[in-house]
Homo-oligomer: A and B are copies of this chain.
Amino acid sequence: MGMELLEQKILSEGKVLSDTVVKVDSFLNHQVDPVLMQKIGEEFAARFSDKKITKVLTLESSGIAPATMTGLTLGVPAVFARKRKSLTLVDHLYTAEVHSFTKNTTNEISVSKDYISKDDTVLILDDFLANGQAVRGLMDIVKQADASLAGVGIIIEKGFQEGGKQLREQDIRIESLATIASLEGGKIDFKNEGATV
């Protein structure tokens, strides 16, 4: 179900750049709306309240604000995986590769072994879900740590791309706060619009 406040924000401030790209730099990816981030944190915490989450895991940079707010509500730390072109020091790190189709680059992402362990129940968060590459990289890290995966929280899912479908077929629980069905003709259409404020 969509989070109405977020959908309204996407409608009023999102810039549709093509049939597959909407830019939300005014409140999420460059400028950050702290009140909206707080409400997003509360919404993720509520949706995963049945799980005993011990860590929120995201990817720098755009995931950090919502992950911190979610951690605040849940009372647990947030961890952000780091992106680098290539890693020189891989000692004491979990690493995974994340390919970006948009930028046609592959980044290595890494998390220190100090911050996720087998005793953790991890909520993965990310700003966008399109092909699912970033989520898969983060899931890989959770697996390497032998930790439990509570599920995946996504702020904006591109419902017309395959990531969400494929992950759900693997029985991964995904909670997307806004799911875009289509951006065609410059118009943003949501799937399962606005059930929660």
Q: Which A residues are closer than 8 A to B by beta carbons?
A: 25-27, 30-35, 37-38, 60-61, 64-65, 67-69, 71-72, 75-80, 82, 111-112, 114-115
**A15–B27 alpha-carbon span in the complex (Å):** 35
Q: Is chain A's interface secondary structure helix, strand, loop, or mixed overall?
A: mixed
- The 3 A-B residue pairs whose C-beta atoms are closest, nearest first, are A34-B72, A60-B61, A34-B71
Q: Shortest distance in angstroms between A111's beta carbon and chain B's nearest beta carbon?
A: 8
Give the complex CA separation of A29 and B28 in angstroms: 20
Q: Which residues of B contact A37 (CB under 8 A)?
A: 68, 72
| 24 intermolecular pairs with C-beta atoms under 8 Å apart | A26-B114, A30-B80, A30-B111, A31-B77, A31-B79, A31-B112, A31-B114, A32-B77, A32-B80, A33-B77, A34-B71, A34-B72, A34-B76, A34-B77, A35-B72, A35-B75, A37-B68, A61-B61, A61-B80, A61-B82, A64-B64, A64-B65, A65-B65, A65-B78
Bound Cα distance A34, B33 (Å): 17
B114 touching A32, Cβ below 8 Å: no
Residues on B with C-beta less than 8 A from A114 are: 25-26, 31
Contact partners of A115 in chain B: CB under 8 A: 25-26, 30-31
Contact between A78 and B32, CB atoms less than 8 A apart: yes
- Bound state CA distance, A65 and B68, in angstroms? 6
Among B33, B60, B71, B112, the residue within 8 A (CB) of A25 is: B112
